[in-house]
Amino acid sequence: MAGDLTDLLRCSAADPIDGYDAADLERRGSRLRRRRQRTMVAGTAALVLTVSLFAAAAVRAWRSVSPSAPAAPAVSASAHTSPAVPSPAGTAPASRKFIPPTRTEAGNVVMPVTFIDGTTAEIVYPRDLDLAGRGVDPYGSGQLEVPPSESCCQRDFAFAYGEPFPLAASGAPLRVFPSADGRPVRLLRGHPVAGVDYLVFEIGAWRLGVWDGQMSDEQRALWSANLRGRVSTDGFPVLSATVPLRLTPLGESFGPSLEFGRAEENGLQFSPTRTCPDVEPQLDVLPDGQSTLVLCRTEWSMSVNAVGDRAFVQGVIDGLKVRNVRLAAG
């Protein structure tokens, strides 16, 4: 599967991607392939699960050995790296980012956030960290639980804000399915960079993509009819599901999280949790000079992973606070 992905990336790099950077599309798409590869090739799960939102050098901080979050198998940067993605011809404008609303309090920035399961919190940080300005990517996953098998179609979610769904090619939908709220759910052909087609849901200004991976029309219809979305008062997408669709709850692998920025530009990931041992920050320095951090405070009910330059990561240690966490029921 990794070889197929590399071939797709090399082929697609020959053609400009209108409006998007190929590296950004691969960054979004790589995370979504993990469940497909884990389900199809269980014996290689330890490898493919580490191909996350960030480059392999950042994996140790992002979905890694957090004391509270489900741990992905540790793979060093030398053991596995993502395929290189040549930039398309010309300069592609950056895709839009959702910038959460904030307020100022005692010289700090207060940013209310909502996770896709409805968990809410306030993130407090020094202005220099500029978390809101980095934009946010909501994250989560779900699966169908239908007979005769116990589960089907485990899928990571891809969100895009205020734009056509970037992992889909332009053109008419391959299929259209009815949804629970009356808005059509379109099956769109994926861009060659993505490698798979997508069921695309509209949630206010958000687009939610569920990668297809050769699902049957019956399975697509179940996803479409049983996944609902709304927008929280602070602008984040919130999902709910009815049987036989199950959303992955907090505390499980691939549960809800919010991801700010990127590894190469300094980034943070927040994952709500019911169990968070209060330990000293786990700070590490990678061979490329980047620093990684795993931070968890009992009173926060939140696991925080950071990656970036030393000044940014130290700023997280010194100034970041999480408060007023209200975990979703379940």
> What is the DSSP code string of 127-161?
GGG-TGGG-EEEE-EEEE--SSSS-EEEEEEEEEE
171 falls within a domain? yes
Kindly tell me if the per-residue pLDDT of 10 is higher than 70: no
| Phi, psi values for residue 212, rounded to 5° | -80, -55
Lookup result for tokens 């005692």: 106
Bridge partners of 267? 261, 307
Task: Compute the distance between CA of residue 201 and CA of residue 211 in angstroms, rounded to an integer.
Answer: 11
| SS3 state of residue 87 | coil
Domain contains 324: no
Q: Is residue 143 part of a domain?
A: yes
**Looking at the domain assignment, is residue 217 inside a domain?**
yes
Judge whether 209 lies within some domain: yes
pLDDT higher than 80, residue 239: yes
Mean pLDDT of the chain: 75
- The answer to whether residue 77 is domain-embedded is no
Give CA–CA dist 120/141, Å, rounded.
18
Q: What is the pLDDT of residues 74-122, one digit of tens each?
A: 222 222 222 222 222 222 234 589 999 999 999 999 999 999 999 999 9
Structure tokens at 25: 């599309």
Q: What is the pLDDT of residue 7?
A: 35
Report pLDDT for 73. 23
CA-derived radius of gyration, the chain: 19
Which residues constitute the domain of residue 221?
Answer: 139-247
Note the pTM of the prediction, 2 decimals: 0.75
Q: Is residue 205 part of a domain?
A: yes
Note whether residue 88 is domain-resident: no
Residue 218 has, within 13 A of its CA and on its CB side, a CA count of: 4
Higher per-residue confidence, 5 vs 164: 164
Domains in the chain: how many in total?
A: 1
